[in-house]
Amino acid sequence: MLSMLLEKWDEFLNRLREFFRKRGYLEVSTPVLLKFPNLDPNVEPIQVEVRLKGEKETLWLQTSPEYSMKKLLSKYKRDIFQIAKVFRNDEHGRLHRLEFHMLEWYRIGEDYLCLIEEIKELLSELFGFNEFEEISVAEAFESYLGIGLSEDEGELREALRERGIYYKEGEDWETLFYRAFIEVERKLGFGKPTFLKDFPERLCALARVENGIAQRFELFIKGIELANGWTEETDPEEVRRRLTVEAKKKNLPIDEEFIKAHRSIPPCAGCSIGVDRLFMIWMGKESLDDIELF
């Protein structure tokens, strides 16, 4: 069984690489150890103490190859992809691991809608899917919870109370949103893959925002989140503003080199996919436990 699993894993990775190479992407490899942590909302980086030339130094395991890949984009301006090992603290369970594989890619001169179409092609090749659903976050809240997604904390709190969704007094808007979002996402992607798109501005991450809507999407199959992508915000001062907010929340340092790289990053869109989860579904399994090689 393990030998067969190993062969299937090899086949799966090769199919992913072939898909992107056929479309002109260049495969890259970037550092796993970083001088500065990724500032990802809802993700905790892992700190590592090392000795360099006899001196102690603090480094960080990447939670995503995003920072390093964008630095490459700023210099070489090529469509690039990578299958990388990433690390996230306190991640465990049926669909989570401290260490896992992430597929990340960037397409020059395109937006998030282009990446949605590209993922549809990938899913068609891997699974034979030919029907997909696209729905905005606001539409999903209305359809699955009967909630009109409000930017007002009081209104959102009241909507959660009326629907019996648990929350704590004093929680901010973002926390309240994710209380409801958990109820939405578990209903997505049944029957056909679902692209949840057009996020509220408050949840833009590093996505471009237009008219109060973040050009961002997530992919769900059978209630499982698989992909997270967006049209990239390339204004360095806007990137600085967003990272400063996140750094203050977590009391973490900011990678100034990453911000500086945005001075020369071309217009582009980027996306990441959890490879282990995608492989799990490709193998017809329900848990990451079922595809463990070690």
User: Which neighbouring-strand residues pair with 55?
Assistant: 52
Q: Which residues, other chains included, contact 80 with Cβ-Cβ below 8 Å and sequence gap of 6+?
A: 25, 26, 27, 28, 69, 72, 73, 105, 106
Residue 95, token pair as written in the block? 């669909």
Amino acid identity, position 49:
E
Backbone angles phi, psi at 193, to 5 degrees: -60, 140
pLDDT at 151: 85
pLDDT at 87: 98
pLDDT at 1: 63
**DSSP track, 153-206:** HHHHHHHHHHTT----TT--HHHHHHHHHHHHHTTSSSSS-EEEEEEEGGG-TT
How far apart (Å, rounded) are the C-alpha atoms in residues 57 and 266? 33
pLDDT at 293: 85
pLDDT at 80: 98
Closest alpha carbon to 111 in 209, 22, 182? 209
Would you list the domain boundaries of the chain? 2-132+192-291
pLDDT at 282: 98
CB atoms within 10 A of CB 130: 9
pLDDT at 81: 98
Q: Considering the domain 2-132+192-291, what is its CATH architecture?
A: 2-Layer Sandwich (3.30)
10-residue stretch averages of pLDDT, the chain, 294 residues long: 88 98 98 96 94 94 98 98 97 95 98 98 97 98 92 90 91 93 96 97 97 97 98 98 96 97 98 98 97 88
